[in-house]
Amino acid sequence: MSPQTGLSMQGISHHFGKMRVVDDVSLNIAPGELVCLLGPSGCGKTTTLRIAAGLEAPDAGTVSLNGAVVSGNGIHLPPERRHVGFLFQDYALFPHLRVLGNVEFGIDSLRPADRHARAMEMLEQVGMADYAGSWPHQLSGGQQQRVALARALAPSPALMLLDEPFSGLDKRLRDLVRDETLQVLKRNKVATLMVTHDPEEAMFMADRVAVMRQGQVMQFDRPEVLYNSPADPFVAAFFGEVNQWHARPQGGMIRSPLGDFACSHDGECDVLARPEAVRMESDGAIVARVLTARPLGPVSLLHLLVADPNGGNLEIRARLACRSLPAEGEIIRLAVDPTQVFVYPRA
């Protein structure tokens, strides 16, 4: 690795007792890039973050920061020697220090005047300069998060680590604060590794997302690739609810309630269709009966009954952008976006 290449984790594995919680994980994060570890609870994402931080030593593999090995090959630098910034759900501001003192705390190697200037610069970046003299208990949760971000970035770390930093905020404030946080991280061009279980948050924040399951990275790519070309049913379903059923190809085609789709697999397959793949069209080829219809703001959620060409009927869910809701029991016609229908060999 050349200098200033950010974080590199290669072949990382880790056990707790006999349980392998991280299984051969490899990823690279360039300066200025934000990578999210995304997955359900217990998938190994937080342990991977702790290994990057130096809070855990991997059983196998290497961790490098800006070209220097910090874990592996007989080396394990503790967190305080890695030049890493942390931002967690618990902001852990020092209650006995004012806002300015909290931000100055991590840059005590500078002269007092330079330390003050750097702390005020970071508070300015996060919109908290006017609160420099306030105590942490006088701040809202969103304000405390901004101060914690300023404190973490003040020493100009080589790597920022974020562990569910917005989960303690209400939705409206969370959307605002994570947007502001992303802009500050990008402005400072710091390599960032973030843990989240929220697919929407990962897609909003990340340049690339590593979807984890049972300690392994199932797919590592840009958010739009994960959403539009998921590697397997787990990844497809993790980015939102899906309609799913089983089918057997005939002559290279799958016959499904939402139409016929090409299939290169032999044997039984899993077919997944996103609810937003369906749209109402007066001349659509699919006939459906409305079971329920509920408005959700910009879209409406419909539960529909459609005929299964293999026999019987199936209930599906559709998310539609429609100004007026169809009535329960109404017969409607549908068209399908085939790019949001995925066919996989059944495991």
Q: Would you state the pLDDT for residue 3? A: 42
Question: What is the rounded CA–CA span in Å between residue 167 and residue 154?
Answer: 23
Q: Which residue has the higher pLDDT, 204 or 90?
A: 204
Q: With contact defined as beta carbons under 8 Å apart, do 150 and 126 qualify?
A: yes
What does the radius of gyration of the chain's CA atoms come to, in whole angstroms? Answer: 24
Question: What is the rounded CA–CA span in Å between residue 238 and residue 220?
Answer: 14
Q: Would you state the pLDDT for residue 347? A: 74
In the chain, which residues fall in CATH 2.40.50.140? 246-345
- Helix, coil or strand: residue 33: coil
Task: Name the band, by pLDDT with cuts 50, 70 and 90, for residue 4.
Answer: low
Amino acid at 126: V
Task: Report yes or no on whether pTM surpasses 0.75.
Answer: yes
Which residue blocks in 190-264 are alpha helix, DSSP H? 199-205, 223-228, 233-238
pLDDT digits (tens, 9 = 90+) for 48-69: 999 999 999 999 999 999 999 9
DSSP for residue 164: S
Task: Name the band, by pLDDT with cuts 50, 70 and 90, for residue 9.
Answer: very high
- Whether residue 259 has pLDDT greater than 90: no
Question: What is the rounded CA–CA span in Å between residue 303 and residue 310?
Answer: 20
DSSP string, 95-152: TTS-HHHHHHGGGTTS-HHHHHHHHHHHHHHTT-GGGTT--GGGS-HHHHHHHHHHHH
Task: Name the band, by pLDDT with cuts 50, 70 and 90, for residue 1.
Answer: very low
Strand pairing category for 68-72 and 75-76:
antiparallel
Q: For the domain 246-345, what is the CATH code? A: 2.40.50.140
Q: Which helix (H) or strand (E) covers residue 181, if one does?
A: helix 171-188
Q: Which residue has the higher pLDDT, 240 or 284?
A: 284
Question: What is the rounded CA–CA span in Å between residue 119 and residue 238?
Answer: 40
Question: What is the rounded CA–CA span in Å between residue 24 and residue 132?
Answer: 44
Task: Name the band, by pLDDT with cuts 50, 70 and 90, for residue 21.
Answer: very high
Strand partners, 259: 256
Count Cα atoms within 13 angstroms, Cβ side, for 258: 31
pLDDT digits (tens, 9 = 90+) for 101-159: 999 998 988 899 999 999 999 999 999 999 999 999 999 988 998 999 999 999 999 99
In the chain, which residues fall in CATH 3.40.50.300? 7-233
Q: Would you state the pLDDT for residue 250? A: 84
Which CATH superfamily includes the segment(s) 7-233? P-loop containing nucleotide triphosphate hydrolases (3.40.50.300)
Q: With contact defined as beta carbons under 8 Å apart, do 51 and 22 qualify?
A: yes
Cα angle: 220, vertex 16, 50; to 5 degrees: 50
- Whether residue 91 has pLDDT greater than 80: no
- Whether residue 44 has pLDDT greater than 50: yes
Q: Would you state the pLDDT for residue 51? A: 97
The pLDDT of 319-329, averaged and rounded, is: 86
Question: Torsion over CA of 47, 48, 52 and 57, rounded to 10 degrees?
Answer: 60
Question: What is the rounded CA–CA span in Å between residue 224 and residue 221?
Answer: 8
Taken in order 63, 64, 65, 68, the sign of the CA dihedral is positive
Q: With contact defined as beta carbons under 8 Å apart, do 232 and 58 qualify?
A: no
Q: What does residue 139 show for φ and ψ, rounded to 5 degrees?
A: -100, 155
